[in-house]
Structure 1
Amino acid sequence: MTMEKTLWQQVQLVKQKSPLVHNITNFVVMNNTANALLAVGASPVMAHARSEIREMAHIAHSVVINIGTLDEYWAESMLIAAEAAHTMQKPWVLDPVGAGATSFRDQTLQRLLQYRPAVIRGNASEIIALANINTTVTKGVDSTAQSNEAIDAGQILAGRYNTIVCISGETDIILNSKDQFFIRNGHPLMTKVTGLGCSATALIGAFTGVAEDKTLAVASAMSLLGIAGELAAKESPGPGSLQMLLIDKLYNITEEEFTAHLKIEQK
């Protein structure tokens, strides 16, 4: 089976299974994240109250933890969710937003990592900082490095935590202890819409929640978002319409569009 066909099957699997994705994410992106998940056929839930987290994680297919608007209450909620997912052997995805920017973020991330996320997705600066806590300064949530500069750091994280690492950028790089995928889809206008990286993390949560091969699930989720953004940008005069059209394209993308535009390389 071709790579295009394999990844498209993952897209269809999400529509068929409609996985429940438990998100503890940031205030900025909740609405966008939920809409992106609904558009691909998943079912989002945003829950961070400590009294219900374990129950929610129990019924969810996967858990997504995004530290974008971190505070002390949410940090503890995230730790409960990560521990619950780990104990129940459910995939959970970590988005280390702003890793390296403050000691609070770094300390929270160190505690979260002990529960071994199935996937870590971040930009190059965040991945580098996560592999070298307290030695790298990031520029908030914006990357100051190119994705290929973070490959070594990604390999360190993959080996240290037995996880899949997704480095977002002009080229998205997905790696585990033995494989590397390079995805060259997307459009520069996507960087002008807040939270698309967070949407990528949520989609990874949906795809890994139903797939047996988690690495291919990550590749499929990132390919889908990149292609949808690429196609939406053709009709978008600016970031506002891109956001709307991208959600539409996540919903109505065809197999022909997906396979014709996919740009992926495995090494």
Structure 2
Amino acid sequence: MSAPRSVHAVRFSAAAVGEQLTAMRGHAPLVQCLTNIVVAQWTANVLLAAGASPAMVDNPEESGPFAAVADAVLVNLGTPQEETVAAMHGVVRAAAVAGTPWVLDPVGVGGLLWRTRIASDLLALAAPALIRGNPSEILALSGVGGGGRGPESVDTAEDAVDVAMSLAQQHGTVVAVSGAVDHLTDGTRLVRVANGHPWLTKVTGGGCALGALMAAFAATADDPLLAATAATATYTVAADIAAERVAGPGSFAVALLDSLASLDPQELVDRVVLR
């Protein structure tokens, strides 16, 4: 993979992030989710709480036609099966034809060869609007490193920045690397979002749901990097607020949904930390 072109850090205004939340809620985008069985309900609940509309249409017969009417699509590789992989291929083709933005979440790539090949095949079909993953997944998707410990990263977001920039340039997409500080790049610009709470890693689907939320924001934003930034900011600021109200990860999960539902755009503006 070629070295990244010169990159410069950008800092979207907090006001622009707040405007994206208002726009997403005003549109209430229909987000088709081909996601894994462990996180489907949580993902749907996060979308509903944030103001989007989930549709878990993931069979080969309906997934392609549905992508043509959906506002955005999530493809998550957490628990691939032959049937859902066929649906993923159909949905990516249909999304490309219809101009529907889609998000790839390459869960567990690197250490597991079949899903790694699936991810590569999907990228060869059509470029996603966004790729979201943890550092080890992003490194492995680029052919660097052997992946993480299952869905858990063994690398830091800073370790993956250069590779993420190259991956973004190669596919003409935005790459979002999750971590204690999230790093997001379109290959020439880099944004860091420094909100969030460690309990997000103690809730099943904490990262997977963020991919779906990015799809929701991509449906209404002209700039995919701003969409990814606004989705990340919304999710992590809501997590900060939720953590202030509860004592542990169980009640945190419930409080996070409440926080997403009640998050005011001005509160997002006031609390987001962009670097």
TM over 0.5: yes
Counterpart of 1:226 in structure 2 is 236
What's the CA shift for 1:203? 0.3
Residue among 146, 158, 163 paired with 1:153: 163
Give 1:39's aligned residue.
Answer: 49
- Pair 1:116-2:131 in alignment: no
C-alpha displacement at 1:103, in angstroms?
1.2
Select 1:105's aligned residue among 95, 115, 125.
Answer: 115
Question: 1:58 aligned to 2:68?
Answer: yes
CA distance in 2, matches of 1:249, 1:174: 23
Deviation at 1:89, TM superposition (A): 1.6
| Cα distance in 1 between the residues matched to 2:217 and 2:270 | 21
- The RMSD of aligned alpha carbons is 1.1
Match of 1:126 among 120, 127, 137: 137
Whole-angstrom CA distance in 2 between matches of 1:71 and 1:55: 20
| Aligned sequence identity (%) | 36
Which sections of structure 1, spanning at least 5 residues, go unmatched? none
User: Distance in 1 between the 2:14 and 2:57 partners?
Assistant: 35
Q: 1:15 aligns with which of 21, 25, 32?
A: 25
Q: Give the ranges of 4+ consecutive aligned residues of structure 1 lying more than 2 Å apart after TM superposition.
A: none
Residue in 2 that maps onto 1:185: 195
Counterparts of 1:254 and 1:19, CA distance in 2 = 18
The residue identity in structure 2 corresponding to 1:67 is L
Aligned to 1:144: 154
Which has the higher mean CA deviation after the structures are superposed, 124-133 or 166-175? 124-133
**1:154 to partner: Cα distance:** 0.3
Using the TM superposition, give the Cα deviation of residue 63 of structure 1 relative to its aligned residue in structure 2, in angstroms.
0.7
| Contact persistence 2:31–2:73 (CA under 8 A) | yes
Q: Name the residue aligned to 1:196.
A: 206
TM-score computed with the length of structure 1 as normaliser: 0.96
Q: CA deviation at 1:255?
A: 3.0
> 3-state DSSP class of the match of 1:180?
strand
Q: 1:73 matched to which residue of 2?
A: 83
After superposition, the Cα gap between the structure-2 partners of 1:137 and 1:17, relative to the gap in structure 1 and judged at 3 Å, is closer
TM-score by length of 2: 0.93
Please give the per-residue CA displacement for 1:148-178, whole angstroms capped at 9, x wherever unaligned: 1001110121011011000001010000121
What SS does the corresponding residue of 1:93 show, helix, strand or coil? strand
Gapped runs of 5+ residues in structure 2?
1-11
Give the Cα separation in 2 of the matches to 1:30 and 1:91: 20
Cα shift at 1:257? 2.2
What are the superposed Cα offsets for residues 81-132 of structure 1, whole Å, 9 maximum, x if unpaired?
Answer: 1111112121100000001021101110110111111100000000000001
Q: Secondary structure at the match of 1:210?
A: coil
Counterpart of 1:160, as a letter, is: Q
Could you tell me how far 1:211 is from its partner in structure 2?
1.2
User: Following the alignment from structure 1 to structure 2, what is the Cα–Cα distance between the partners of residues 80 and 104?
Assistant: 18
Q: Which has the higher contact order (CA 8 A, sep 6+)?
A: 2
Distance between the aligned counterparts of 1:10 and 1:223, measured in 2?
Answer: 10
Report what 2:58 is aligned to.
48
| Range with greater deviation from structure 2 (253-262 or 13-22) | 253-262
- Name the aligned partner's letter for residue 194 of structure 1: T
User: How far, CA to CA, are the matches of 2:233 and 2:205 in structure 1?
Assistant: 17
